[in-house]
């Protein structure tokens, strides 16, 4: 524990510091975050997070319009100049976290409910706010106009080249990931959510700490070579999709800020360019090892 932590997700660096230097910050409890904790000071910090303790009677008066309600557990408020995220699973109580952000989501102030703060013989201890779901919400907005997005997909790396498997819950992402996990030379990066970023005119995929049922979360980057939309069937078969067909399949599983009218055109352009540059397929699959052979054809030796 210290008064600061550094976390890196998808090439985006978070610096988390306590406003009071006498306050300690604990790393995320979930062990999948271990490989995303940075032990060396990075050259650049993308997102600065200042963490403060709330007073005992903490209640946040919110004057911003509500933009989104995330399944009742978290809420997003905002306008052209300011944003606020609240983590509030119990509507009868004050939020556990209230995080304010600038429009670019680079400067954040996180206020912790007093119930989260531990007091013992030493200094007060506050948990790290950069954990699910808050880190995902922040990163989603930070990348919205920086050529990146979060996609509900599994993904793998083979010698620096990657394939993703987009699909909604129940499509088979975790099952396919568990099967491929034992294939020679393949490294599974995630079984539930990944980040796609355009860098130097190429698209790369990143593993994230937001694992699914297979608990696969690897902090690694790979050049995206193919997109395979999963369909359960009675054989393993690939069918090439035209970019417009692939776009219809991608949008339902991509995290896009539909409420931010100034950003949506940029995100749609990003999706269109992605599907012009990276081939997309429908992958009908069965859970047998013939699936590995089909995928090997998409990643030939170079």
Distance CA 88, CA 103 (A): 22
32-46, 66-80, 274-288: lowest mean pLDDT where?
Answer: 66-80
pLDDT digits (tens, 9 = 90+) for 120-152: 788 899 999 999 999 999 999 999 889 999 999
End-to-end CA separation in angstroms for the chain: 45
For residue 302, is pLDDT > 70? no
The answer to whether residues 146 and 46 touch, using CB atoms and an 8 Å cutoff, is no
Distance CA 276, CA 129 (A): 37
Instruction: Give the domains, in start order, of the chain with CATH numbers.
Output: 4-142 (no CATH), 149-298 (3.90.228.20)
Close Cβ partners of 39 (under 8 Å, ≥ 6 residues apart): none
DSSP state of 99: E
Q: How far is CA 61 from CA 11, 65, 135, 260, in A?
A: 34, 12, 23, 23
Q: Global pTM?
A: 0.93
User: Which residue did the predictor score with more confidence, 102 or 287?
Assistant: 102
Token readout for 162 is 């990657």
Distance CA 208, CA 210 (A): 5
């Amino acid at each position: 524990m210290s008064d600061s932590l550094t976390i890196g997700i998808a090439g985006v660096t978070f610096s988390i510091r306590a406003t009071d230097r006498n306050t300690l910050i604990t790393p995320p409890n979930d062990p999948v975050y271990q490989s995303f904790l940075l032990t060396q000071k990075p050259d650049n910090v993308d997102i600065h997070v200042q963490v403060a303790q709330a007073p005992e009677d903490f209640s946040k008066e919110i004057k911003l319009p509500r933009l989104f309600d995330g399944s009742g557990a978290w809420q997003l408020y905002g306008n052209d100049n300011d944003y606020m995220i609240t983590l509030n699973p119990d509507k009868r109580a004050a939020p556990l976290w209230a995080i304010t952000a600038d429009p670019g989501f680079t400067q954040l102030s996180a206020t912790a409910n007093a119930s989260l703060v531990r007091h013992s013989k030493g200094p007060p201890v506050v948990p790290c706010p950069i954990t699910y779901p808050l880190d995902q919400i922040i990163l989603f907005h930070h990348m919205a106009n920086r050529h990146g997005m979060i996609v509900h997909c599994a993904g793998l790396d083979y010698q620096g080249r990657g394939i993703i498997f987009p699909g909604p819950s129940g499509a088979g992402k975790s099952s396919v990931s568990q099967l491929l996990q034992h294939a020679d030379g393949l490294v599974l990066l995630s079984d539930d959510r990944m980040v796609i970023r355009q860098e130097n005119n190429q698209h790369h995929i990143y593993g994230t700490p937001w694992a699914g049922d297979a608990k696969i979360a690897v902090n690694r980057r790979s050049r995206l070579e193919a997109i395979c939309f999963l369909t359960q069937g009675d054989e393993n078969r690939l069918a090439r999709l035209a970019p417009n067909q692939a776009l219809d399949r991608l949008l339902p599983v991509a995290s896009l800020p539909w409420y931010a009218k100034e950003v949506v055109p940029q995100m749609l352009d990003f999706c269109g360019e992605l599907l012009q540059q990276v081939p997309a397929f429908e992958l009908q699959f069965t859970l047998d090892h013939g699936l590995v052979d089909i995928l090997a054809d998409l990643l030939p030796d170079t």
